[in-house]
Amino acid sequence: MTYSKANYKTDKFLKLGSQNSKMGGILDKLIAFEKENQIYNETLWGRFIEIFTYPSDVGDRGWRCEYWGKMMRGAASVYAYTHDEELYSVLRKAVTGLLDVAEEDGRISSYSRDREFDGWDMWGRKYIMLGLQYFCEVCREQELIDRCHIEMCRQLDYIIAHIGRGKKPITSASRHWLGANSCSVLEPVVRLYNVTGKKEYKDFADYIVDVCYGNEAELNIFKAALEDKLDPHQYCEQKAYETMSCFEGLMEYYRLTGEEKHLKACLNFARRVLESEISVIGCCGCTHELFDNTRLSQVDPQKDGIMQETCVSVTWMKFCGQLLRLTGDYRYADAIEQTFFNAFLGAANFPLKPFTHIVSGRGITEHIEIRGVLPFDSYSPLRAGRRGKQIGGMKLDPKGTFYGCCACIAPMGIGTLTETALLCSENGLVINSYMNGYLTADGVRFDIESGYPYDGKIKITVNGEGEFELALRIPAWSKETSLKVNGEAVTVEVGYTKINRKWTNGDVIELCLDDSVYPILPPEDSPCKDNYIALRKGAIVLALDKRISDPRAKVLLPESGKLEFCELECDALPYYNLSLGVKQKDGSILHVVDYASAGTTFDNESECAAWLER
Ligand SMILES: [Zn+2]
């Protein structure tokens, strides 16, 4: 097996060195959509580079500086899957264009020197380094890789000259979230140390880790995770995306140092997010973008503002991808899938509906209404509500164009699914995704025929030969599973079922996952536990959409067991992945669609709900 550069001795599962896989259906649609509307757009890259040619973020202490790196990180990971030459040349140009705007001493910032290391400046510098690092992983030209490394070092040298002990504390390099946003620079710092071995970078990483353990300032998120007494919504700050980003850095730091306490902190944090924060669609936070004990708040009718941010969905998936590789624990692959096919896919603005954004308040005396199209939506409703409510992280530029944080992070969502679909372990290969298409590794190709994730029947034909262990992920949601290899039944269990044999050309694996429709009830300790119910078919959450069923009407669904259902034609929706009629207690049929296909007019015409009132 050939391993990619980003693999570590600490990891149970490793990324394959070169991917050559194709997963059709919804993934094809997403990648074609990206091609048309985002990562191939040279004008858009140009706009994101221009941000660094003047102090564009100083006026509102903004985060325009995150756009370039955030989109580059995702775009490079999409390229790792598609190997499309056209995309490579667009990204190459976007990278050299960025490097060209570095100042003489290496500084790349959207803040002026007299106002730097405030607001989101450090956050933006983090994304520049991350974007370059992800590009370097797919870059084929050593000269360009070397140039990226030189520029990243100049960036980081400049940061270290100004931030640290005896200088400006990193927690003071922002006025938000106790400085957690700034501390998340840890991840690219460790990664750059791995490449360069420069002692100053390790010292700087040590310093940030020390800060986040509460040894320098109020920010003590790593300490809270290690002690394991609080849920994330009880931490000193609760911003979901920024906090998870710091833990991504801690994971890299653990890989570097091998110190068990850092792994323990990451795993405690992840477990508590899973237990207390993940909603039915796989995102966190019903109080705008904060951890807020989503387990309960997702069925709290008082939480009626924006919720379930797309940046949180993608960062959670990415974090889970790291945890999956680190631990080999299938639950993180289950979690990626839950988020991907529900919260994340539902945010894709396939019909390209324009969003309206009203700018008012701080520094702006009049209301300005802006209309424009972004490829991804920012907030997802859980109880009856609409999509397209607000553009998260929206920032204007002087030409009147704008962009948003959630649109920029979206390509990384795609990359997370594709890079974890097939992994390798010490003994062989691990299949996590069963989407129709093929997965290949070292001369063996697995041809997959399926309607997954909307249908549970999966046929895998082996093309190639070799003796190795094949681990198949059996998701926890599959209550009844059957597995056959060349017609012979194999015992399965939830988690990874491992088949160790000499594989020969034409071997057939038939996997049947439980795709029955089941009800989901709110947690027992929820004050609203009798008021709501949700439905799932496999990993797919089913939803009401005003175009087919009133999302505010009370339903009469059975509370347990498998629910009877049939497929329904649906002319009212221009596209959908599932359209089902589910039989209610009174014999009536409730028309539902998959959550990602609900609400897709992005306005009140298609109000939708994942939690149904009862
Ligand atoms: Zn966002």
The answer, yes or no, to whether residue 162 has pLDDT greater than 80, is: yes
pLDDT value at position 230?
A: 98
Q: What is the pLDDT of residues 524-571, one digit of tens each?
A: 999 999 999 999 999 999 999 999 999 999 999 999 999 999 999 999
Distance (Å) from CA 312 to ligand 1 centroid: 7
Q: Is 145 inside a domain boundary?
A: yes
Looking up tokens 């922002």 gives: 174
| Reported pTM | 0.97
Q: Is 88 inside a domain boundary?
A: yes
Q: Is 91 inside a domain boundary?
A: yes
From 512, 541, 572, give the residue that closes a domain.
Answer: 512
Per-residue confidence band for 1, with pLDDT thresholds at 50, 70 and 90: very low
Distance (Å) from CA 164 to ligand 1 centroid: 28
Q: What is the pLDDT of residues 364-405, one digit of tens each?
A: 556 677 778 999 999 999 999 999 998 888 888 878 788 999
Distance (Å) from CA 314 to ligand 1 centroid: 9
Domain span at residue 447 reads 422-512
Q: What is the pLDDT of residues 253-269, one digit of tens each?
A: 999 999 999 999 999 99
Q: Is 582 inside a domain boundary?
A: no
Q: How many domains does the chain have?
A: 2
pLDDT value at position 391?
A: 87
Q: State which amino acid sits at residue 203.
A: D
Q: Is 455 inside a domain boundary?
A: yes
The answer, yes or no, to whether residue 6 has pLDDT greater than 60, is: no
Q: With contact defined as beta carbons under 8 Å apart, do 309 and 408 qualify? A: no
Q: What is the pLDDT of residues 321-370, one digit of tens each?
A: 999 999 999 999 999 999 999 999 999 999 999 987 776 665 655 667 77
Q: Is 576 inside a domain boundary?
A: no
From 102, 133, 162, give the residue that closes a domain.
Answer: 162
Q: Is 137 inside a domain boundary?
A: yes
Q: Which chain residues have CB less than 5 Å from ligand 1, an ion?
A: 311, 392-393, 405-406
Distance (Å) from CA 393 to ligand 1 centroid: 6
> If you write DSSP's letter for every residue of 384-418 in order, what string do you get?
SB-S----TT-EE-TTS-EE-HHHHHHHHHHHHHH
* Closest of 321, 310, 343, 341 to residue 419, by C-alpha: 321
Distance (Å) from CA 309 to ligand 1 centroid: 6
From 496, 512, 528, give the residue that closes a domain.
Answer: 512
Per-residue confidence band for 62, with pLDDT thresholds at 50, 70 and 90: very high
* Cα–Cα dist 326/420, whole Å: 12
Q: What is the pLDDT of residues 478-532, one digit of tens each?
A: 999 999 999 999 999 999 999 999 999 999 999 999 999 999 999 999 999 999 9
Q: What is the pLDDT of residues 22-61, one digit of tens each?
A: 998 899 999 999 999 999 999 999 999 999 999 999 999 9
Per-residue confidence band for 18, with pLDDT thresholds at 50, 70 and 90: low
Per-residue confidence band for 174, with pLDDT thresholds at 50, 70 and 90: very high
Q: What is the dihedral of CA 520, 526, 530, 533, to 10 degrees?
A: -20
Q: Is 184 inside a domain boundary?
A: no
